[in-house]
Amino acid sequence: MIGDMHAAVHRSPLVRSFRRSLVAVLGGGVLLAVLLAALTPLDGSAGPVLLLLPAVFLVYVGTGLIAWRRRPSNAMGTLIVGAGAAMYLGNLWNTEIPLLESIGAVCSTLLLGVVVHLLHAFPSGRLHGRISVITVAAGYFAAVILQAPQYLFGPRGSTPMLIVADLPQAAAVGLSVQRVVGAAVMLVTAVLLARRWFDADPRQRRALGPVYSYGTLVVVFFPFSAALLEGTFGLPPAARGFLQFAALGGIPVAFALGMLLGGFAKSGEIEELGTWFGVSGAGRQDVSPALAATLGDPSLRVSYWAAEREAYVDAGGRTVRDGPDAPQPPGRESVGIDIDGARVGAITYDSSLVGDPELVQTAGRVVAIAVDRERLTAELRASHLALQRSRERLVNAIDLERRRIAQDLHDGIQMRLVLLALEAQQLGSIPGTGAETTSRATALRRDIDAAAADLRQLVHNVMPAGLVEHGLWAAVEDLTDRMPIPTRLTMSPKSGAGTLPSAVESTAYFVVAEALTNTVKHAGAGSAAVELALDGDVLRVEVSDDGVGTAAPNSGAGLRGLADRVDVLDGRVRLRSEPGQGTHLTVELPCA
């Protein structure tokens, strides 16, 4: 659906302008990387390691721009680009220009604060909860404010433009405090991210796993990497620097992997989404897939307000628990869609993937007209479903009444006629009875037998006894055996269909009976064939003959009545009757 949107709609001026801006930012990043490489002394053993800095910076910028393009309203892209900028500023310390060295000294640990912010904000781009806000603020405090003693009271010559006093003890105390606060920030971050990961569903864990695990590992490892790599493992400064920069460069890669695994919603096409709905008439379809693809949340669901029920329904007309006032499970939120103040629908989404409710509301306003069309369609489907159920209940009630009438006729009037016939026979055989009385008694018995036969036929027409007592398979077999022309019967399975709904059995029987009656009366056929087949939850009935054809669905009340009855059960009728090629009637009845 989104592919059709791209093909149907030209890029809007706003989108083209935005993307040109991203290209300009990327170009500026490349120029800054080249400038950093030119200003950094690359001679000596540390040269190859320092050459990694521009490359890592470009990784941050590129990943951030990708995120920015996918979600312009989400802060994640800005944060990732900001992390690259923080790294760039911190590494100006490696240049030999005093002003740039001073900037690098001030920003040397800023990257760790931004990374903590990134971890807490992923994937929605917003900080959730008071603990996250306090932890991120503490991270920036440790990275910026507690870094000050290092360049204000450090040894002279390190940052001559910033040093105010040579107080190595104050610098050492400041470093200790910074490490303690930083360790606390990292510990709280690790615990909070672990809890979020365990609380997430399996689909969310796929997206959160790479970011949370790698990011936590880096922020815990980096502050102590110097002591660990140099003191414990005895690595030289060049190797230690290479590992540190490689670890930092993997952070945006982890975020990119999280985005590809579904942890990042896409919203840059919302304007085009609205244009596409207006141009292609997509409002006649369910809008949920388009919104889900646009916002990057596969679980997103659109529901529609049914005023007569005072509830939300899905596209099929079934009631759902959606809407701003309905309680949602943890991690799920729902926003309403209105047109001129009238409620038309709601969007229910995963708040961990789409963290900005305003973005969802904007998307809802864009497709509001399409949602209103879908709402009317859903209401129509719901009304049709209710009508269908009502008609099914009516058919079942009629069948039950027919069975009761047939049973009453069989057990009541027919039995009384049999008794009257016996009594008439007894009257005619009484000794001493005159010939005239005997003749009248015999005629009366014959008349009663004829009436009983007519009554049995009436009972059979109302509801065949074989259908009630032995089921559809046996009743159709008896019907074909009494046909005046050769009739082939095929049944699958041969042992019978088991227990079918009574409405399905009676409808299938009357389909066969009416079709065979038409064959005998109107088709001029020499033979006929009947097939009953139960394919899963569908009963297929086929009746064919080799007669003159030319039958039409509306040619008689019988066929029209059968078509209406089949339609009540949500079945299908197909009639093929070409002149000189016979007639073939196929009926499919759902049994579930």
Helices (H), 107-236: 110-121, 130-140, 148-152, 168-199, 202-221, 225-226
Q: How far apart are CA 532 and CA 497, in angstroms?
A: 9
Q: Mean pLDDT in the chain?
A: 75
The alpha-carbon radius of gyration of the chain (Å, integer) is 42
pLDDT at 542: 92
Q: How far apart are CA 235 and CA 239, in angstroms?
A: 6
- DSSP code of 579? T
Structure tokens at 502: 């009574």
pLDDT at 11: 47
Q: What is the mean pLDDT of residues 224-242?
A: 63
Name the one residue in this structure whose structure tokens are 């020499």: 526
pLDDT at 73: 65
pLDDT at 454: 64
According to DSSP, the β-strands at 301-306 and 311-313 are antiparallel
pLDDT at 39: 84
- In what side-by-side order are the strands of the sheet with 332-339? 319-320, 311-313, 301-306, 342-350, 332-339
Give Cα separations from 83 to 60, 186, 227, 552 (angstroms): 7, 17, 24, 76
Q: Please indicate whether residue 118 or residue 436 has the higher confidence score (pLDDT).
A: 118
Q: How far apart are CA 151 and CA 148, in angstroms?
A: 6
Name the one residue in this structure whose structure tokens are 């008609």: 391
pLDDT at 488: 92
Q: How far apart are CA 421 and CA 416, in angstroms?
A: 9
- Band (pLDDT 50/70/90 cuts) for residue 145 is very high
Segment 462-511, tens digit of pLDDT? 556 666 667 788 888 888 888 889 999 988 876 555 578 777 888 888 88
pLDDT at 134: 94
- The answer to whether the predicted template modeling score (pTM) of the entire model surpasses 0.85 is no
* Of 22-26, 344-348, 458-462, the least confident: 458-462
In the chain, the N- to C-terminal Cα span, in Å, equals 33
- Band (pLDDT 50/70/90 cuts) for residue 267 is very low
Q: What is the mean pLDDT of residues 109-136?
A: 87
Question: Which residue in 585, 90, 1, 14 sits closest to 288, CA to CA?
Answer: 1
Segment 337-390, tens digit of pLDDT? 887 777 878 888 887 777 667 777 777 776 666 666 665 666 666 565 555 565
Q: What is the mean pLDDT of residues 145-167?
A: 78
Which residues are CB-neighbours of 71 under 8 A, at least 6 positions away? 77, 125, 264, 265, 266, 267, 268, 296
Q: 292-328 burial, b for 16+ CB within 10 Å, e for fewer? A: bbbbbbeebbbbbbbeeeeebbbbebeebebbeeeee
Q: Please indicate whether residue 289 or residue 114 has the higher confidence score (pLDDT).
A: 114
Q: Residue 136 pLDDT more than 90?
A: yes
Q: What is the mean pLDDT of residues 506-526?
A: 85
Q: Residue 271 pLDDT more than 50?
A: no
**Phi, psi of 413, deg, nearest 5:** -65, -45
Strand-pairing partners, residue 543, are 530, 585
Please, are residues 346 and 288 in contact by the beta-carbon 8 Å criterion? no
* Of 308-317, 361-370, 564-573, the least confident: 361-370
| Phi-psi sector, 331: left (phi>0), alpha (psi -120 to 50), beta | left
pLDDT at 388: 58
pLDDT at 432: 58
Cis check for the bond before 493: say yes or no (omega within 30 of 0): yes
pLDDT at 141: 94
Give Cα separations from 2 to 15, 123, 168, 243, 284 (angstroms): 16, 22, 62, 42, 15
Q: Residue 108 pLDDT more than 80?
A: yes
